[in-house]
Amino acid sequence: MSSSTPSGIYHRNIENENNINQSQLSKSETSPTGAGAPTTEDDDMEPLPSQPSGAHMIVEESTIQTFMQYFDRLLIGLNPRWRNWIIRGIFSWVMILGFAKLVSMGPLVVSIVVLLIQIKCFQEIINIGYVVYKSHNLPWFRTLSWYFLFTSNYWLYGESLINHFGFMMHKHNFLQPLVTYHRMIGFLLYTSGFVGFVLSLKKTYYLKQFTLFGYTHITLMILVTSSHQMIQNICEGMIWFIFPVSLIICNDIMAYMFGFFYGRTPLTKLSPKKTWEGFIGGGVSTLIFGFIVAGILSHYQFLVCPLEYDDERMSLATSCIPIPLFQKTIYTMPKPFSFFKRTLELYPFQLHSLILSLFASSIGPFGGFFASGFKRAFRIKDFAATIPGHGGFMDRFDCQIIMALFTNVYISTFARVASPNKLLQQVLALTPENREEFLRLLRNHFKE
Amino acid sequence: MSSVLNSDTSNLHQRNIDYDIDTNVTRLLKKETITSGVGGAPTTEDDEMEPLPSQPSGAHIILEESSIQNFTRYTDQLLSNFDPRWRNWIIRGIFSFIMLIGFAKLIELGPLVVSLVILLIQIKCFQEIINLGYVVYKSHNLPWFRTLSWYFLFTSNYWLYGESLIHHFGFLMNKNNFLQPLVTYHRMIGFLLYTSGFVGFVLSLKKTYYLKQFTLFGYTHITLMILVTSSHQMIQNICEGMIWFLFPVSLIICNDIMAYMFGFFFGRTRLTKLSPKKTWEGFIGGGISTLIFGFIFAGVLCNYQSFVCPLEYNEEIMGLAISCKPLSLFQKTTYLMPKPFTFFKRTFELYPFQLHSLTLSLFASSIGPFGGFFASGFKRAFRIKDFAATIPGHGGFMDRFDCQIIMALFTNVYIATFARIASPHKILQQVLELTPEKRDEFLRLLRNHLKE
C-alpha cells in the first residue's frame, strides 16, 4: 500500500508536468506520443489504469518525425502491425549498412564513434533522471553529471592511450607532464567534482541530490566501462569488436523473426512481447551464424591483427602473424562422424565463437530485460525517440554492454599475449640498479 | 508547487518511519542500527542536526540494548553530576584513546593482519549502509535485496583481491598446483559470478516494486564502488610499504582530533550548514597542526625499515622480506637552506618523504573533511543521526572511516605518481610468458636499445 504511493506521486508529478511544463520540455528529446509513430516492441507495456505512461510526456517535432509522418501517409493503407514491421525493418537495414560502412573506415573512426554513442546514451539516461526526479530547481545536477562524464572518460582513455602508445612519447614533449602526472590529474579532476557536489547540497533537497548523484555514477559506471572495454577489444583486433556486435544484432533480429512468426509462450513479465520460441530460435540461429561468420572473418588480416604502431613505417601495422586462435588448424573428427570425414579444418576461433554465441543469446537478452525493467520502473516507453521503430540509442545498445564486458574478459583469458614493445617500455622505465638486476636475472635464466 | 511535492515525499518517508515504529519495532530490535537519544547515550558531534519541526529524526527509530550501552549507562551514572557537554567530551575522549591504542597494537601485528582487519571493517561498514537502505526504503517485502547485496559484495571482493594476489604472488604458483585453474581463469570466474548476480537481480524484479528495486540496486552498487575500491587501494598501499597506510591514516586521525580540540576551545564561525558543529577555527587550526605533526611524524617513521620496505616475498627465506634498500624517497638527503635562513644553518638533512608529507597533510586537512561532509549530507538526506551505535561517542564504523576513504584513494594515486617502481622480478616473469617468437623480438629490441 505505502509502496505504491511514492510511484503514485511520481505519476501525479508527471501529469502535472504534462499540464504545466509541456512547453519547457518540448525541446528535450524524449519519448514520442503513441499517435502513430512506431516505437519499440514493448507496445503492450501495461500502464497503470487511468494514469498515462511516461511516453505521453512530450510531443516533439523533428525532421525525422516529419519524415515519419510523410511515410505514414504512404503506408496508411496497410495494417498497423505490418506498418510497424516495415519501418523497423527499413531502419534495421539502415543501421546495419551504417555499421558496415563504419567498420570499413578503420579502428580509429570506430573508436571515436563508440565514444560519441556513449555520450549520446549518457545524455538519454540523464535526461530521464532529470525529468523523473524533477530536478529543475537543481541547476548543478546536469553540469556536474556532464563534468563527471568528462572526467571519467579523460581518466580511462588517457590510461589506455598511455598504455598503448606511451613509449612513443619523446621525453621533452610538451605533453610529457600530462603523461607522467596523468593519474594525479584525473584524480584531482574527479575530486573537484566531488567537492562541487558537496558544496551544492541544498537544504530539503538532500535526498534528491544524493539519489541523482548515485544515478549519475551508476550510469557512468555502466556506460564508461563498457565503451572503454569495447575500445580495448578493438585494440586487440577489429574482429573482437565486429564479431560480438554482429552476434547480438543477429540474435535480436532472429529472435524478433521467430517471435513474429511462431511466437506463442511469453518469456517474462518484463517484456511481454518476447517469447520462448523467439528466444530459442534466435539462440540456435546465432550459433550457426556465428560459426560461419567467424570462419569468414578470420581470413582477413586487417580484422585479426592487433592495433600496433609500427616504428619503421610510422603508422598502424597492417599485417602481422596472427595468434594461433586465428590460424587454420586440423582437428580429427569425433568418433561418430569419422565415417563421413576423417579430419576437419577449422579456425579455433570458430569453436570459441560457439561460447560467445551461447553467451550472446542466453545472457545478452538480460541486458534488455534490465533496461525494460528500468523503463517500467520509471514509467517510460523508450529511452528516446531518435531511431524510428527502435527508440533511442540506449534501446539498441543495452545488450551490447554486457557482451562487450564478456568479450573483454574472454580475450584476457584466452587470447591475450603480452606485447614485446610494452615490456621493453617497462624495462626502460626501471632505475639503473633495477635494470642491471633485470639483465642479470635474464642472463641467468637463459644460461639454463 | 514543486517544493510542496518535495515535502510530500519526505513526509512520506517520515510517515513510513512512524509506521515502522508502531508495527515493526520488535522485528528490528535485533539489528544493530541507530540508537535513541533517550538514555543520554552520546552520539556524534552533530547533536544539533536540525530535525524537521514535529517530526522525529530517524535516530528515534530503534531502541537497543547492548553491552556497550550498559557500560555507557554505568559510566553515565558516575558522571551524572558533570555538565552534559563535558560528559560527552570525556566519553568521546576515552573511546578515542581506546581506538588509538587498538590501532597501534594492530600495526604491530604486521601487514597481513592489517589487511585482514581492513577487509573486516569494510564488511562492517557495508553492513551498516545496507541496513540503512533496508530500513529507509522499506524493503521488508523484497527478500532478495539483502542476499543479492551480500552476494555482490562477495563477488567484487573475490575479483579485486584475487587480481591483487595473482599480481603480487602469482609467480610463486607451481604450474601443477590445484589452484592453477583458479588463477588462469580468475577474471572469467569473477565475471561469471557477477553476471549470475545480475541475472538473479533481473529475475527477482517484482511488479509494482520496480522503482524501489532499481533504487536499491543502484544504492548497493554505489556503496560497493566506494567501499570495495577504497579498501582495495588501502591494501595496495600496504603492499608498497606499511608507512603508506600508517601515515595517511594518522594524518586523518590527527586532523579530526585537532580540529575538534580547536573547535571546542576556540570555535566561533560556522563552517557549513551540513555540519553545524564544525567551525573555521577548528578547520584551520586542525590543518596547521596536521602539517606540523605530519612533518615530524614522517621523519620518525622513515627510520624504521619495517615500515618503509615494500611487501615482497623473499624466496631464500621463504617469508616476507624484512629488510630492503629503501627508495630514495626514504633516504636522508642533504638540502641547502634557502637564502634567508643560511645565517642559522648551511644545510639540513631531511627525508624527501617529509616534504611529500606536506602535500599529503594539505590534502588530508582540506579535502579530507569533505568526505565527512558528504557523509553528513547523506545522513541528513536519510534523516539519521549516525550510521550505527557501535562506538559510543562516535557512532558507527562508517562515521570514523568516511574521511579515510578519500585519503586512501589519494595516497594510492600519489604512490603511483611519485613512488612506484617496477620490480625486475615481475618484468622477468612477463618475459618468460612470451611466446618464443615474441621473446626473440623482445631480446632483439632490447639489444638494439642497449647499443645506443
Distance CA B211, CA A4 (A): 10
Query: In angstroms, what separates the C-alpha of A409 from chain B's closest C-alpha?
Result: 6
C-alpha B396/C-alpha B388 separation (Å) is 4
- Tell me the three state secondary structure of residue B103: helix
What is the tally of helices (H) and strands (E) in chain A? 17, 6
Q: Chain B partners of A321 at a C-beta cutoff of 8 Å?
A: 437
End-to-end CA distance of chain B: 75
Amino acid at B392: P
Which residues of chain A are within 8 Å of residue B191 when distances are taken between CB atoms? 405-406, 409
Residues of A within 8 A of B139 (CB-CB) are none
Contact B215 A218 (CB under 8 A): no
Determine the Cα–Cα distance for residues B144 and B134; give it in Å rounded to an integer: 11
Task: State whether residue A165 is helix, strand or coil.
Answer: helix
> Are the Cβ atoms of A417 and B435 closer than 8 angstroms?
yes
Residue B367 confidence (pLDDT) above 50? yes
- Cβ atoms of B69 and B390 closer than 8 Å: no
Q: Which residue of A has its CA nearest to B213?
A: A377
Q: What share of chain B has pLDDT > 90, as a percent?
A: 20
Nearest CA in chain A to B184: A413
Query: Inter-chain contact B214–A377, Cβ cutoff 8 Å?
Result: yes
All 3 cell numbers of residue B147? 542476499
pLDDT tens digits, chain A, 448 residues: what are they? 333 444 444 444 444 444 433 333 333 333 333 333 333 434 334 333 333 334 434 444 455 566 667 666 666 666 666 777 788 888 888 888 988 888 888 888 888 999 999 999 999 888 888 887 776 777 788 889 999 999 999 998 888 887 777 666 655 667 777 777 888 999 999 999 999 999 888 888 888 888 889 999 999 999 999 999 998 888 888 899 999 999 999 998 899 888 888 888 888 877 878 888 889 999 999 999 999 999 888 888 788 887 776 655 555 666 677 777 788 777 777 777 667 767 778 888 888 999 999 999 999 889 889 988 888 888 888 777 777 777 778 878 888 999 999 999 998 888 776 666 667 767 776 666 677 777 887 787 777 5
3-state secondary structure of A328: coil
3-state DSSP assignment of residue B313: strand
Query: What Å distances lie between residue A399 and A90, A222, A260, B4, CA to CA?
Result: 21, 12, 20, 40
Residues of chain A positioned with their CB less than 8 A from the CB of B207: 269
Contact assignment for B214 to A428 by CB distance below 8 Å: no
- Which residues of chain B does A3 touch, with a Cβ-Cβ cutoff of 8 Å? 138, 141, 208-209, 212
Cα–Cα distance for residue pair B170/B133, rounded to 1 Å: 38
Nearest to B427 among A208, A377, A423 (CB): A423
Distance from CA of B19 to the nearest CA of A (A): 10
Q: Distance between CA atoms of B407 and B394, rounded to whole angstroms?
A: 20
Closest CB to B208: pick one of A3, A183, A369.
A3
Q: Angle CA(A131)–CA(A137)–CA(A138) in degrees, nearest 5?
A: 85
Helix then strand then coil, in percent of chain A rounded to 5, is: 70, 5, 25
Q: At what angle do helices B436-451 and A420-429 cross, to 10 degrees?
A: 40
Report phi then psi at B335, rounded to 5.
Answer: -115, 145
Output B197 or B449, whichever has higher pLDDT: B197
DSSP assignment letter at A235: H
Q: Does B23 touch chain A (CB under 8 A)?
A: no
Closest Cα partner for A30 from A12, A18, A42, A43?
A: A18
Name the CA dihedral angle for B122, B123, B125, B128, rounded to a multiple of 10 degrees: 170
Burial of A128 (0-12, 13-18, 19+ CB in 10 A): buried
Q: Which three cell numbers stand for residue B273?
A: 550548514
Q: Cβ neighbours of residue A217 under 8 Å, at least 6 residues apart?
A: A148, B222, B225
- Stretch B406-410: mean pLDDT: 92
| b/e code A341-378 from CB counts within 10 Å (16+ = b) | eeeeebbbbbebbeebbbbbbebbbbbbbbbbbbbbbb
Q: Is the dihedral of CA A309, A314, A318, A322 positive or negative?
A: negative
> Tell me: the pLDDT tens digits for B253-283?
999 889 888 888 887 888 887 777 888 888 9
pLDDT at A42: 40
| Residue in A137, A378, A423 nearest the CB of B211 | A378
Give the residue among A405, A3, A86 at the shortest CA–CA distance from A240. A405
Type of residue numbered B95? F
* Other Cβ atoms closer than 10 A to B5: 14
Q: Mean pLDDT over residues B106-115, rounded?
A: 85
Contact at 8 Å (CB) between B220 and B148? Answer: yes
Inter-chain CB pairs, A–B, below 8 Å = 184
A424 reaches B (C-beta below 8 A): yes
Which of B188, B274, B416 lies nearest to residue A409, judging by beta carbons?
A: B188
Interface list for A 197-256 with B (CB within 8 A): 197-198, 201, 203-211, 214-215, 217-218, 221
The SS3 assignment for A146 reads: helix
- Contact B7/A204, CB-based, under 8 Å? yes
Q: CB contact, 8 Å: A134 with chain B?
A: yes
| Residues, chain B | 452
Residue A215: closest CA among chain B residues belongs to which residue?
B218
Name residue, grid cell 529507509: B136
As a whole number, the mean pLDDT across chain B is 76
Indicate the DSSP class of residue A138: -
Each residue's pLDDT tens digit, B194-247: 999 999 999 888 888 888 888 889 999 999 999 999 999 998 888 888 899 999
Task: Scan residues 357-376 of A and list those with Cβ closer than 8 Å to B.
Answer: 363, 366, 369-370, 373-374, 376
Q: How many angstroms separate the CA of residue A385 from the nearest CA in chain B? A: 22
Interface confidence, given as ipTM, is: 0.77
- Chain B, 144 to 163: residues with Cβ < 8 Å from chain A are none
For A210, which residue in chain B has the nearest alpha carbon?
B378
Helix ranges restricted to H, B109-185: 111-136, 144-169, 180-184
User: A207, B12: Cβ pair inside 8 Å?
Assistant: no
Nearest to A5 among B12, B225, B434 (CB): B12
B395: pLDDT confidence band, cut at 50, 70 and 90?
Answer: confident
Return the C-alpha cell found at A340: 563421413
**A428 CB contacts (<8 Å, ≥6 apart)?**
A167, B449
Query: Which of B50, B386, B405, B374 lies closest to A199 in space, CA to CA?
Result: B374
Report whether A52 contacts A16 (CB < 8 A). Answer: no
Phi and psi at residue A131, to the nearest 5°: -75, -45
**pLDDT of B9:** 42
Contact A210 B10 (CB under 8 A): no
- Of A301, A300, A317, A299, nearest in space to A309 by CA: A317
pLDDT value of position A167: 60
Q: Is B305 exposed, middle or buried (0-12, 13-18, 19+ CB in 10 A)?
A: middle
Written as nine digits, the cell of A392 is: 533511442
Angle of helix B210-240 relative to helix B111-136, nearest 10 degrees, comes to: 170
Q: What is the DSSP string of B6-17?
A: HHHHHHHHHHHH
Q: Which of A371, A303, A445, A233 is nearest to B210 (CA)?
A: A371
Q: Which residues of A touch B410 (CB under 8 A)?
A: 187, 191
* Cα separation, B69 vs A78, whole angstroms: 76
**Single pTM value for the model:** 0.77
DSSP A204: T
Nearest residue of A to residue B196, measured between CA atoms: A363
Residue B236 backbone class (left: φ over 0; alpha: ψ -120 to 50; beta: rest): alpha
Best mutation target, A178, A423, A435, A440, to test chain B (most B CBs within 10 A):
A423
Contact status, residue B131 vs residue B33, Cβ threshold 8 Å:
yes
Q: Which of A13, A423, A434 sits opposite B5 (nearest CB)?
A: A13
> Using a CB-CB distance cutoff of 8 angstroms, which residues of chain A are in contact with residue B215?
211
- Nearest CA to CA, how far is A170 from chain B (Å)? 15
Percent of the residues in chain B that have a pLDDT greater than 70, as a whole number: 71
Q: Which of B8, B202, B433 sits opposite A369 (nearest CB)?
A: B202
In angstroms, the Cα distances linking A442 to A372, A436, B87, B422 are: 56, 10, 66, 16
Contact A194 B19 (CB under 8 A): no
